[in-house]
Structures are given as structure tokens and as C-alpha cells.
Structure 1
Amino acid sequence: MNMQLHYEVTRFLTREARLLDNRQFEDWLELLTDDVVYRMPVRMTRESKDPSGKDNAMAYFDESKKSLTTRVKRLRTNSAWAEDPPLHTRHFVSNIEVEPGDKPDELNVCSYFLTKRSRGVDHNVEQIFGERLDILRKVDGEWKLAARRVYPDQSILTVMNLSMFL
């Protein structure tokens, strides 16, 4: 991949993290294609002959743009108790690798992530980390997220809930 393309992808992922950290969820939704697939399979601890534990039919979430939009709308209501008071979140993205996609207007992007979350009144910090495999698609001259598979490194998640977006 050329440097310019890597830079564009890095800027896209950095902007996405900033929007999520600033709770600009509606703007974040604009970064997604209408047919986005947003999935986090359950990570399984496997024997050494299959160490990845990634290919699992069960998922913590398996969402579409419609379900993500519904989640965002719910966060703006009084019934989103998991987010009341709102949590402080930081998304860190690193180790970004960009490869050509299966289609001419798509890229396959692998990145590592670390998401930390806390309440201002609580000393506990929750974190989830792992790898993301994304498909970015050029739509009307802009990169959009067409698919994301999130693979947490933890077999047992230590977060209270999955109300955050990864």
C-alpha cells in the first residue's frame, strides 16, 4: 500500500475514535455504509492445534446499521441506565495494516485496539483490547466502514456491559 492510502485509513480510524470518545454517535453512524456488518464473535480458548479461537458462530453482538442506529437513539433516552451518568471512554488504535480488498473500491484493514472506560465517580477502569478486521469502502469519494469483526484478546470479558462501540 502506498503511504497516502495508509495515511487516509489512519485518519479515518483516528476520527472514528474521537467521535466515539466525544459521544458524537450520530456523526459516527455517518461513517458506516448502509449495509455494514458489525460483529464481535465470542473468543474461545482452544487447544494448541487451533490457537486463534476466532471462528465462532456465537457472538457478543452481530449488528447492522439499523440496530446500531437503534442503540444510538436509546443512548439519548432516560432508559439507558448503563450510561447514566455517561461513561468516559478512550479508544486507542494502533498497528494499522492496510491491504487491497476483494473489490477495487475496498480495503482490508487490520488494527489493534484498546478501549478504556470509567465513570467520573468511580476509581475502577474497565478495558477491552484485541484486534479488529475492517473492510473500508470508498463511497462518494469518502471512506466508510462496511464491515468490522472485533476479536477481543480476553476469553472472559471484564467489562460490566457492552454498551460502548468498539
Structure 2
Amino acid sequence: MIKMQSLTNINIYLNYDKNEVNENEYIKIVRFLNKEAELLEYRKYLEWLDFLHPDVEYIVLVREIKDKKDNSISNGLLIYDKKDTIKIKIDRLTSNYAWSDNPPSVSKYMITNILAYNFMDYYLARSNVLFIKYRSSDLMYLTYKRADIISKDMKILKRIVLPDVHSINMQDLTYFL
């Protein structure tokens, strides 16, 4: 089982490029990621929860640029959730008390540049994502790199999100990335 590691070791998932999957596995992974994005877009959170492994780790990092001279970049932790905390968030979002998104926003996930690898006994899928949120006259977007560890039975075991910006410019972060 792949467990949370130090933030420096997370770069392994963000940069791994060995042992590419075959064409059939690649198509299976792309379809899985597209279906997952569709569930999130249509707020089918309980169905989306079934796409998550019982031991899932959902990690959102924040990019920290430390020094202009040596161009050093490090990552800080913004969100770390397990399945039980994700379920609590879903229960809140689907209740009558989720006022921050009422009326509901329109969201889209554009998943591109998908690369997929065999990684230990799992798949590792890396992608770039453009997340768009439209509400009333406000258009917000966020681009990020994502690394997903997916079990062979197609459950997300680990998701690592690394936004391209060091400050997320959204009024609320009630969406799963």
C-alpha cells in the first residue's frame, strides 16, 4: 500500500516516466479519468465516491517559490484528506446547508496530456487539468498538474494536485480537483 510520504518524495509521482502502459490500458485509464470528471461536473458525488479506494489519499499542494536566483521551488501542503473526510465534505455539499455554492456554479474539468505508467502494482496517471468554474458573471479557472495512483481494479488510491500558481484565486474551494 502506498502511504503519504514526505512532500519531497511526492516529486517521485510528479516526475516518474518509466514502464508505460500498453494501448488498451491507456484507453481504460483515459476513459476512467473522463468518467470521473463527468461525475464531478454533474455533482454526482456519491457515485464519484465509488471511484475512490477505501485507503485513498487526496493531497492538494501549494507551490512555494523560494529564491529567484536559483529558481528553487518547493511544495507545501494545502489539503490532505482521506475517504472519511471526503465523505464528510460530500455530506455537507449535498445538504441544504451548503450556502457557499447556492445557486450552484457550473464547473468543467479539461484533462489533457495524460501519461500513464505501470508503477509497482498500480497505474500512475499524470495529467494537466484546466478547472473552470462559472457562477453568475464570475469566471474562475485553475490549472494544475495531477498525479493519480490507480489500482488495477480502477480505484483512485492517491491523488496529488499541484496548482501552477502559488496562490489559488477562488472565492471558495468546495470542489474536488
Identity %: 27
Query: What's the offset of the Cα at 1:100?
Result: 1.3
SS in 2 for 1:78: coil
Aligned to 2:53: 33
**1:149 aligns with one of 150, 160, 169:** 160
* 1:94 paired to 2:112: yes
* 1:117 paired to 2:117: no
Relative distance call for 1:50 and 1:100 in structure 2 (3 A) is: farther
Q: How does 1:8-157 map to 2 (within 5 A)?
A: 8-47=28-67, 49=70, 51-54=72-75, 56=76, 59-102=77-120, 104=121, 106-119=122-135, 122-138=136-152, 142-157=153-168
Unpaired runs of 5+ residues, structure 2, are 1-20
Q: Deviations over 1:109-153 (max 9, x none)?
A: 11000110112xx21111111100110002xxx311000010000
Q: Deviations over 1:48-71 (max 9, x none)?
A: 5454433x3xx2211000000111
SS in 2 for 1:143: coil
- The RMSD of aligned alpha carbons is 1.3
CA distance in structure 2 between the partners assigned to 1:124 and 1:41 by the alignment? 25
Unpaired runs of 5+ residues, structure 1, are none
Query: Retained in 1: the 8 A contact 2:92–2:98?
Result: yes
* Structure 1 residue ranges, 4+ long, deviating more than 3 angstroms after superposition: 48-52
Q: Deviations over 1:79-122 (max 9, x none)?
A: 211111111110110100111112x2x01111000110112xx2
CA distance in structure 2 between the partners assigned to 1:98 and 1:134 by the alignment? 9
CA distance in structure 1 between the partners assigned to 2:164 and 2:94 by the alignment? 30
TM-score, with structure 1 as normaliser: 0.89
Aligned to 2:23: 3
Number of residue-to-residue matches in the alignment: 156
